[in-house]
Amino acid sequence: MHNKIDVVIMAGGKGERLMPLTQNTPKPLLKIGNKPVIEHITDHLASYGISKIHITVNYLSDQIVAYFKNHNKHQIEINYIKESKSLGTIGALKLNHFNKDYILVMNADLLTNINFECVFNTFKTQDSDALIATVPYDVDMPHDVVEIENGLVTELKLNHASCYNLNAGIYMFKKACLEYIPKNSFFDATDFINILLEKNKKITNYSISEYWLDIGKPEDFNKAQNDIKHIKF
């Protein structure tokens, strides 16, 4: 796997929902346990033989560059893709040239021990153009659900529960798909996926059964501090 994919960690966001923690520190450098969340990611990637990683940076980027100058125990080659303006969650990929046929993209605020080998194998065996990793999310309704159409009751669902597949912020796609990302424009991963769907590209799913947490809000940050004591990487 490691010699067939380029890896991109998206670390340019401001982390506004985590203010004031991110007022003077970029979100990827917030410590979970004894090291920043982005270092948990790079260490986990290194365990799969990944020796080069691209990191997109913008907000307080100098801190991220400085951190890895002094904390790079796996001697990973890091290429920084610097945004001069905010380009969304995937627009910065257009600023770089990639050599490998496949690209793995993930957000820098994820704490996960996802099996990257399984992700790649799923992508390849399905002959996918793109892959989205998802996490199952169950919703138990506290009361019966009444379906209504044009003011009329059409159905009554008793003891209703639903399971949704949430976007986990981890993607893989063929390099050829980069042509659908516009240059120098704000462009989110969701925009990218929607265009691929319009082009009838084959997009498969990897359902995460491993640990996964998006550290977007203060309660997520606090949960991560407890969970990290028990996660096996």
pLDDT of 100-112, one tens digit each?
A: 999 999 999 999 9
Specify if 79 maps to a domain: yes
Specify if 198 maps to a domain: yes
Cα(138)–Cα(135) distance, integer angstroms: 10
CATH of the domain at 95: 3.90.550.10
What's the token pair of residue 159? 């003891």
Cα(134)–Cα(110) distance, integer angstroms: 13
pLDDT of 16-48, one tens digit each?
A: 777 776 778 888 999 999 999 999 999 999 999
Is beta strand 102-107 parallel, antiparallel or unpaired with respect to 5-11? parallel
Specify if 149 maps to a domain: no
* Res 2: pLDDT: 67
pLDDT of 143-199, one tens digit each?
A: 888 899 999 999 888 877 778 899 999 999 999 999 999 988 899 999 999 999 999
Strand partners, 12: none
| Mean pLDDT value across the chain | 90
Which residue range forms the structural domain that includes residue 52? 5-136+164-227
Specify if 192 maps to a domain: yes
Number of compact structural domains in the chain: 1
Reduced to 3 states, what is the DSSP secondary structure of residue 232? coil
Q: Are 70 and 43 a contacting pair, CB within 8 Å?
A: no
Cα(158)–Cα(145) distance, integer angstroms: 7
Output the pTM of the full model. 0.88
Specify if 156 maps to a domain: no
Specify if 80 maps to a domain: yes
